[in-house]
Amino acid sequence: MINASNKLYSPTAYLELKGTLDLSKEYFYSDWLSVANTTKNHQLIASNLVNIFSEHLKNNDAASVTGQDDVPPYLLYSDGIRFEAIKDRFYPSPDLFITQYPDEDCPVGFKREPLLAVEVLSKITDEFDRHCKLKKYMQVPTLQVYLMVSQYTFRVELYTRSQTSAPWGYENFDTLESLVSIPLINLETTVAEIYHNTGIVPKAFPPPKK
């Protein structure tokens, strides 16, 4: 994750760009951040995740998951769409995110009130996603799930909280048989499904630093 230019942008100027936004950049505290170039494994894993979530949501809409008839539908976004993490400060572009905020009420260029965000990590973005972005995501009032997926080995890391005011919990999964459970949307998937068709060879991975 690197500075894309020396020019600084106000939040207003950023949002005025609207449809002309470069999808390879994120807005972070008045500066652009270039997102690392994609790789084959990144694309395959991101595609698998989109398929897993979209197929699940077809039969598990917000009404059936919450047991309430008058709730907005789950909306899944990917492919460079941004959300407002910190108003006027941070507009990231994760590989996938889910919100219930009405699309018609959002400005062109970004969405609001994410419930879940997914990042496929790269060598360049790993440190930023794992530390700086993690801290910022945990400040998003509506966010309840943050999923990080390695593209180099079988490694899935999951941060969740049951309510927006609850403390965050952490789990990691590193075997193909491991079951990844996301109660927020009643989703269960395996590490094998996430890494389907990637050809990744498992390797030893040190435990995360506390």
- On whether residue 53 sits in a domain, the answer given is yes
Angstrom distance (rounded) from CA 148 to CA 121: 7
What's the whole-number mean pLDDT along residues 186-201? 95
Give 131-157 pLDDT, tens digit per residue. 888 999 999 999 999 999 999 999 999
Q: Look at residue 210 and tell me if it is in a domain.
A: no
CA nearest 180: which of 40, 48, 42? 48
> Could you tell me if residue 8 is inside a domain?
no
Q: Assess if residue 13 is contained within a domain.
A: no
Q: Is residue 56's pLDDT more than 90?
A: yes
Average pLDDT over residues 175-190: 97
Contacts 24+ apart (CB under 8 A), 6-10: 7/32
Q: Name which of 47-61, 71-85, 194-208 the model is least confident about.
A: 194-208
Please write the tens of the pLDDT for every residue from 112-136: 899 999 999 988 888 888 888 899 9
Whole-angstrom Cα distance, residue 173 to residue 159?
A: 12
| Higher-scoring residue by pLDDT: 4, 142 | 142
**Tally of helices (H runs) and strands (E runs) in the chain:** 6, 14
Q: What is the pLDDT of residue 31?
A: 44
Structure confidence at residue 30 (pLDDT)? 41
- Residue 134 domain-assigned (yes or no): yes
Helix H segments across 76-173?
126-127, 133-137
Q: Is residue 20 part of a domain?
A: no
- The pLDDT assigned to 157 comes to 97
Domain that holds residue 65: 38-194
- Whether 27 maps to a domain, the answer reads no
Q: Is the pLDDT at 32 greater than 50, yes or no? A: no
Count of domains observed in the chain: 1
The enclosing domain of 82 has a CATH number of 3.90.1570.10
